[in-house]
Amino acid sequence: MSERLREKLSILADAAKYDVSCSSSGSDRKNTNKGVGNGHHSGICHTYTEDGRCVSLLKILLTNHCIFDCAYCVSRKSNDIQRAAFTVDEVVELTMNFYRRNFIEGLFLSSGIFKNADYTMERLLRVVKKLRLEQNYNGYIHLKTIPGASDELIHEAGLYADRMSINLEMPTETGLKLLAPDKSHKDVIKPLGFVQNQIVQFKEEKKLIKSVPKFVPAGQSTQMVVGATPETDKEIMYTADAFYKNFALRRVYYSGYIPISNDTRMPVLGTQPPLLRENRLYQTDWLMRFYGFKVQEILNDANPHLDIDIDPKLSWALRNLQHFPVDINTAPYRMILRIPGIGVTSAQKIVQARQFGKLHIYQLKNIGVAYSRAKHFIKCADTPFQMKDFQATQIKAFILAESQSKYLKTATNQLILFK
């Protein structure tokens, strides 16, 4: 690798680290024609930094030149930073060389916008097209959609990428206008809707025609920056819920804002990123997608913010003690899912195991239930006491006293800015 290419890689990989929406799963692309890579059998390996950010893919920007001046973005045009841009051939060369050396399992390619949206999108398209058609690369590719790019370019890119994503940036239009007046959520909604319609159309064609090209087989995702503007958790999760429903997104990512400037509209330099808040948002997201919770049950006008000291499921349970204790041996599956300390796998095992007899405490522990937490909300064959003897505040105090969460040691001073 030349010294100049190494320098570009250093600049553009560093610039890409703020985008957390690079998780990769769900692709069933297989190795064909004795090509290179396989997005199906190997899956895509993830590694995460201590703060939870994915670093496993070759995660780079095509360029960090940008015509926009978004206050929250390190690549904004007014920022005095070192700039660089890869050529199409350089990205292809890097990807193939790294893949052959087993350094990476796939490519995550995003870009600042230079000249205009179509000019940038056309170069991103050329990268994925070369990898697929000339290098016969069958590994995973996550490609960013450029807001404002033409439908024709997005359509063609979707034929080669496994996943496409476009960042919502701020959770609300008001927040976006505050920090990026030149942008609008409409610029994101249009391509998201276009890609979603194309995915549905290709699926419908597949029912009638045996051989139909793949189109974004791993679906779409988006990302919101959390903590740069004063949205409530309710506003953030209501936005996520709407985008899940309207565009069938695979994931919504929540990226805690890392202060990068002295702009007085945002948290000052040195403020810690809101990692605990970010974690609570992901937990809420999980409850909505896998535990049958509606977002209104967790966040509403009476509870616009998530509790920092306890997880959202425990918080909901303490506000709704009238539903507890739940009899593990008779309750429906959907209610078992709502018990703090019981995950999806444990709930499934409980339903299967109780067919052979009433479950006891030792069996629940063997199944994997976090009994020290769940015991306040359940009844089983040998339950030693009744939960009605305790108030919500007492139960919370018992659980916190036994908790060893690493997050409780994390400062949360960023939230103070908006009080």
Q: Give 261-264 contacts, CB < 8 A, sequence gap 24+.
A: 261/71, 261/79, 263/71, 263/179
The angle formed by the CA atoms of residues 216, 90 and 153, to the nearest 5 degrees, is 35
> In the Cβ-directed half-sphere of 70, how many Cα atoms lie within 13 Å?
23
Helices 88-100 and 117-129 pack at an angle, to 10 degrees, of 40
What is the phi/psi pair of residue 73, to 5°?
-105, 135
User: CA 183 to CA 102: how far, in whole Å?
Assistant: 39
User: CA 144 to CA 119: how far, in whole Å?
Assistant: 14
What pLDDT sits at residue 413?
A: 44
Burial class (CB in 10 A: 0-12, 13-18, 19+), 169: buried
What pLDDT sits at residue 9?
A: 84
What pLDDT sits at residue 50?
A: 43
Q: Which residues contact 166 (CB under 8 A, 6 or more apart)?
A: 144, 145, 146, 147, 188, 191, 192, 220, 222
What pLDDT sits at residue 260?
A: 82
What pLDDT sits at residue 31?
A: 64
What pLDDT sits at residue 33?
A: 67
User: CA 85 to CA 78: how far, in whole Å?
Assistant: 17
What pLDDT sits at residue 414?
A: 43
What pLDDT sits at residue 406?
A: 55
What pLDDT sits at residue 49?
A: 44
| 264 token code pair | 């007085």
User: CA 64 to CA 61: how far, in whole Å?
Assistant: 7
The residue to which tokens 């060389």 are assigned: 97
- Alpha helix (H) residue ranges in 274-382: 275-290, 295-298, 312-319, 333-336, 344-353, 361-367, 371-374
284: three-class secondary structure by DSSP: helix
User: CA 212 to CA 335: how far, in whole Å?
Assistant: 41
What is the phi/psi pair of residue 141, to 5°?
-130, 125
Residue of 121, 105, 139, 23 lying closest to 63 (CA atoms): 121
What pLDDT sits at residue 43?
A: 36
Asked if residues 221 and 249 have their Cβ atoms less than 8 Å apart, the reply is: yes
Helix or strand (DSSP H, E) at 253: strand 251-256
| Other beta carbons less than 10 A from residue 57's beta carbon | 26
Integer angstrom CA distances of residue 230 from 111, 179, 227, 259, 366: 27, 12, 7, 14, 44
What pLDDT sits at residue 387?
A: 52
User: CA 286 to CA 240: how far, in whole Å?
Assistant: 12
What pLDDT sits at residue 270?
A: 84
| 357 token code pair | 């007899």
pLDDT tens for the 419 residues of the chain, in order: 788 888 888 888 888 777 766 554 445 566 666 676 655 444 344 555 445 545 578 888 999 999 999 998 888 989 899 999 999 999 999 999 888 887 788 898 999 998 899 999 999 999 999 999 999 998 889 999 999 999 999 999 999 999 999 999 899 999 999 999 988 999 889 999 999 999 999 989 988 888 888 899 989 999 999 999 999 999 999 999 999 999 999 899 998 898 888 888 888 888 888 889 999 999 999 999 999 999 999 999 999 999 999 999 999 999 999 999 999 999 999 999 999 999 999 999 999 999 999 999 999 999 999 999 999 999 998 887 555 578 889 999 999 988 766 555 444 444 443 33
Residue of 275, 317, 297, 306 lying closest to 412 (CA atoms): 275
Burial class (CB in 10 A: 0-12, 13-18, 19+), 135: middle
